Structure 1
Amino acid sequence: MLRLSWTQPEDLLPHALVAAEFDGRDVADLRSRWVAAGGTPDAAVSGATPEPAPDPLRALARELLAEIDQRPAPAALVAAEPDDLDAILAAAPAVWAAPAPEMQPADLDDRVLGAWLGRASGCLLGKPVEKISLEGIRAIGRSTGNWPIASYFTEVGLDPDIAARYPWNRRSRPTSLVENIDGMPEDDDLNFPLIALGLLERIGTGFTTDDVAQAWLDDLPGGRVFTAERITYRNLLDGYEPDVAGAVQNPFRDWIGAQIRTDVYGWVNPGDPVAAARLAWTDGRLSHGRSGLYGAMFAAAACSAAVVATSVSEVVAAGCSVVPAGSRYAAAIARGVELGAGDLDDEAAVDALHAEFGKLHWVHALSNSALLAFALTRGDGDFERSITLAVSGGWDTDSVGATVGSITGALTGARGLPGRWTRPLHDTLATSVPGFAGARFTDLAARTVALAPAPAATR
């Protein structure tokens, strides 16, 4: 029996109740109605419960989802966390100053290639342990002599009891363990950047949210999108316009999906984080809001800085320069930076993050972005240290590993990346995105740089 995840009303409703309560919306009466009717209050971590709900319970779930959409967010939250682009930028810190032109690197080609390769390497490192608990990641690493993480994961030497207790991501295991790697396997963390690159090549920086929606429908099968993207995809097919499709019965708008889509917008706007963030907003708003949208803008702005900057602190400052200062997202980034610069050892610092953010779903933007900021800050530009910190922190391992790899890969440049991380990629990327069959990272980098103007001197 097919149980499609992230779409069944009875599976969405518990997530929607949690999201509403997290925003301070009063839905206690709706939760009571659901539980009284026999619905589970516990959100399915994997996105789908084993069995479908009876028809009356499913109908109630649809009704309650619609009612949740009508419950307003508190005025203070709306003021602190707007979704309108101009309001977001008005609430963000004042400026980010790029290095003066004479101080900017002349090797943009190498920086952008480093970003593509870094994104792939960090993603590939995190793929086999995606969805595995922090405890499980540590147990696997220790059992195989790879703790602290120093290479791609292996199952050679893995204790059978640990393997049974913490099974690999079944889709990733055949292509992402070190003994199996043969080029970069397909992953949504790379597919979405390809779609962004295709949009920019076909339409240019004037693309609209409608164009993003059309690209999804043209280039992505529905089964290749998840969480907020899957809800948005469904709503587009149901006739909702792109301006509203992401806001209808979508409890995942604060999750990490938009944050994995926007690196390319930074790479084609070197040293101009606001221009990058504007493109990220146009893309991200299709499916996300508030924290999810800020994550898209932060990543794009940080990537814009990473191809011209010389330090992680510059990159994080650029990302923060486009995020509302009073938002929960800005606070999560600040907490990650604080722990990264603090005195706790790596595991204790990660434990502190999990203690503070662990009640959120493992795909939520806030927890993963706090980990992102921690890994970047503590790694301090060291590519290997940064991606291994990101993945060893758990949660959405491939996505955080990819973004950390993208940023530190850009700071380092392709020529400076350790070969043990890049050689297994064979300069190849598997993808089902039309127009990119047989893609090579060297070609993708050249196509990206061809779209970039000269680096901006100031914001």
Structure 2
Amino acid sequence: MIARRGEPMFVPIVILRKHLTQIINEKTEQGHVTDGLADELAALPDSYDAVYAFAKRVANLPLRADWPYVEPSEFDEIVAELDPTRPLGKLGTVSDREARVETAFMASVCGCVLGKPLEINPTLADVRKALEAIGEWPMKAYVSEKIAPHLPRAMHHSWRETTREHITYVASDDDINYTVLGMLNLEQHGIGFTKKQLKNLWLGQLPISTTFGPERTTLLKAGLDTYHGTADEATMREWVTTFTPREEFCGALIRADAYGYACAGEPALAAELAWRDASFTHRRTGIYGTMFIAAAIAAAFTQPKDPLDIFRTALKFVPQRSRLCHILNGCLEDIESSRDWLTAYEKIHAKHFKWDHCRVFQELGTVMNTLRFAEGITDGICKQVSQGNDTDSYGATCGSILGAYFGPAKRRELDAWLKPFNDDLRTTLAQFYERSLVAVAKRMTQLPALVDKQQAEGVKQVAEQKARDAGAGL
């Protein structure tokens, strides 16, 4: 529609139809009964009332009778589906906690920048062929601009800031934005943060042009709500279920890192905070992947002898009858039975190649593969990015896990990777003025102590209330 002066602006119906088409396809993947819906959508009149009523129906479709998975999105229902043997408290004492958080964050930044020029949904074969053409396989450093003619598609537009020849600062990226935003959320609101507080934080600091998929859709809805400010928790749940395609993509997963840092050694709390953030924009696998990564980062701080134990623990915080749990257990078996990371990748890719850029399933399999065979932090982020798909996001995510796991013992590896940044961190967050990467890393290291303090205060308040109840004879 063409808006004239004085007329309200609406999302064009053609865009809503496009969103609904994608949602119907996703509902089919999720096991819902979608027969005939595409034709019904095509026959709908160009009426906002008709399209909205149809969207509400699509949001509440029944599951097929033969669908074998159970995939809730509400927290209590998710908890009922988790592994009953999951650890509910701290896994143990975390040595060098602050140093490990610093290493995790720095490794995440390096992994993100390493992957950014290749964020074109490549396969490992694509990356390997291009690097071999310039004599740089296996990957051991930031990507050179010389790789460009040998890739199947043009390099990501950020290459002028993120290829080896041009890096002089940490280029802005949504993965880094969200890690910093998670830090700000915990600094300002603590572990009891609400969706309303998260909404207001996003409105104040997250430019909509730097968001994608459900994040952009949610911000748009939140922005419209500022005209009347009536959105409660129920309304915000409806934002997720209506006109929000890609609810199972990785846009929430890349927001998990700060919660993993803050809950070092305590995966249960990390997963709970991750749910609260992820469910603001995502459902089902989009939530589970976020809980899985937050729990994995938290578990990595305990340095298990077998790095795959990180993920065995994290999988206990994923609904046990979900597609994600089923697929990742299969990936674990493939990794365990493989002699090297390339063999394991081929097994994972052969089974799950259709789940490519941002689709979570295959990519989380490659993250586990990386940890199994990584010889250190920088070797790990190189292996992760070499496996393709969403290279910057999973380079960042894997960097967090690698840094938490290997910790200060391998921190020196990162010095050469951090030097080109000149301690200059560039985000696109509004009202965030800190440009020193070192200073932001220092703030990240304070998150676990913040959680400790709030937990201690909570225990004290419970004890005081019990004493008052006892004194009152309750």
TM range (shorter): 0.7 to 0.9
Aligned position for 1:263: 257
In the aligned structure 1, how far is the partner of 2:299 from the partner of 2:397?
Answer: 13
CA-atom RMSD, angstroms? Answer: 2.9
Contact 1:117–1:414 under 8 Å retained in 2: no
136-145 or 237-246, larger mean C-alpha shift: 237-246
Among 79, 83, 86, the residue aligned to 2:76: 86
Confirm or deny that 1:210 pairs with 2:201: no
Residue of structure 2 equivalent to 1:444: 440
Q: Measure, in 2, the Cα distance between the counterparts of 1:83 and 1:394.
A: 29
Matched, 1:424 2:420: yes
- Closer, same or farther in 2 for the Cα pair 1:24/1:159, shift >3 Å? closer
Deviations 1:86-107 (A, max 9, x none): 2322322222375543xx31x1
Whether 1:272 aligns to 2:266 is: yes
Change (3 A) 1:113 1:441: farther
> Residues 381-411 of structure 1: CA distance to partner in whole angstroms, max 9, x if unpaired?
6223321222111211111111111110112
Identical-residue share of aligned pairs (%)? 27
Maintained 8 Å contact 2:308/2:368 = no
Aligned length: 426
Match of 1:288 among 282, 285, 292: 282
Cα contact 2:299–2:310 (8 A) shared by 1? yes
Q: What is the CA-CA distance between 1:285 and the residue it aligns to?
A: 0.5
- Aligned residue among 245, 254, 276 for 2:239: 245
CA change 1:375–1:15 in 2 (3 A) is farther
For residue 420 of structure 1, report the CA deviation from its aligned partner: 3.2
2:155 to 168, 172, 177: 168
- What's 1:42 paired with? none
Q: In the alignment, is the contact (CA less than 8 A) between 1:186 and 1:431 conserved in 2?
A: yes
Specify which of 373, 376, 379 is matched with residue 382 of structure 1.
Answer: 376
Distance 1:244 1:420, change over 3 A: same
Q: Does residue 1:337 correspond to 2:332, yes or no?
A: yes
Deviations 1:127-179 (A, max 9, x none): 111124214323322222222212111123x474x35x421011x11111011
Q: Which amino acid in the other structure matches residue 154 of structure 2?
A: P
Aligned positions of 1:31-430 closer than 5 A: 31-33=38-40, 65-74=55-64, 80-93=70-83, 94-96=85-87, 99-101=91-93, 104-105=94-95, 107-134=96-123, 135-156=125-146, 158=147, 160=149, 162=150, 165-170=152-157, 172-239=158-225, 241-311=235-305, 312-343=307-338, 345-379=340-374, 382-414=376-408, 416-417=410-411, 418=413, 419-430=415-426
Whichever residue aligns with residue 136 of structure 1, its letter is: D
Deviates more, 1:396-405 or 1:66-75: 66-75
The reply on whether 1:9 has 2:4 as its aligned counterpart is no
C-alpha contact 2:105 2:444 (8 A) present in aligned 1:
no
Say if 1:353 and 1:236 are closer, same or farther in 2 by CA, change over 3 A. same
Counterpart Cα distance in 2 of 1:435 and 1:139: 43
Q: C-alpha separation between the residues in 2 aligned to 1:78 and 1:223?
A: 39
- Secondary structure (helix, strand or coil) at the match of 1:203 reads helix
1:297 Cα deviation after fit: 0.9
CA deviations over 1:410-445 (Å, ceiling 9, x no partner): 122246231333333333311122343343333223
Stretch of structure 1 that moved more, 20-29 or 67-76: 67-76
Name the CA distance, whole Å, in 2 between partners of 1:33 and 1:173. Answer: 44
TM-score of the two chains, using structure 1 as the length reference: 0.84
Tell me if the contact between 2:271 and 2:295 (Cα under 8 Å) persists in the aligned partners. Answer: yes
Query: Aligned partner of 1:167: which letter?
Result: A
- How far 1:227 moved relative to its partner? 1.1
Counterpart of 2:466 in structure 1 is none
Judging changes above 3 Å, is the alpha-carbon distance between structure 1 residues 426 and 415 closer, same or farther for their aligned structure 2 residues? farther
Distance 2:21 2:122 in 1: 21
Of residues 24-33 and 91-100 in structure 1, the stretch that sits farther from structure 2 once superposed is: 91-100
Q: State how far apart, in whole Å, the 2-side matches of 1:218 and 1:78 are.
A: 42
**Secondary structure at 1:118 match in 2:** helix
In structure 1, what residue type is equivalent to 2:308?
Answer: S
In structure 2, stretches of 5+ residues that fail to align are 1-10, 226-230, 456-474
- 1:63 Cα deviation (Å)? 6.9
CA distance, structure 1, for counterparts of residue 271 and residue 148 of structure 2: 46
> Deviation digits for residues 366-393 of structure 1, max 9, x if unmatched?
22222222222232x6223321222111
Q: Which runs of 5+ in 1 are unaligned?
A: 40-54
The 1-side partners of 2:379 and 2:333 are apart by: 18
Contact 1:16-1:65 at 8 Å conserved across structures: no
- The separation in 2 between residues aligned to 1:159 and 1:259, in whole angstroms, is 29
What secondary structure does 1:321 align onto?
helix
CA contact (8 A) 1:254 1:290 kept: yes
What letter matches 2:71 in structure 1? E
Q: Does the 8 Å CA contact 1:115/1:414 hold for their aligned counterparts? A: no
Change beyond 3 A, Cα 1:410–1:27: same
Secondary structure of 1:186's aligned partner: coil
Report which stretch shifted further, 79-88 or 244-253. 79-88
Task: Give the drift of 1:60.
Answer: 8.7
TM-score normalized with structure 2 length: 0.82
One-letter code aligned to 1:111: R
Query: In the alignment, what sits opposite 2:25?
Result: 18
Aligned twin of 2:463: none
Aligned partners of 2:265 and 2:66: how far apart in 1?
33
Matching residue's letter, 2:367: L
Q: Distance in 1 between matches of 2:369 and 2:50?
A: 42
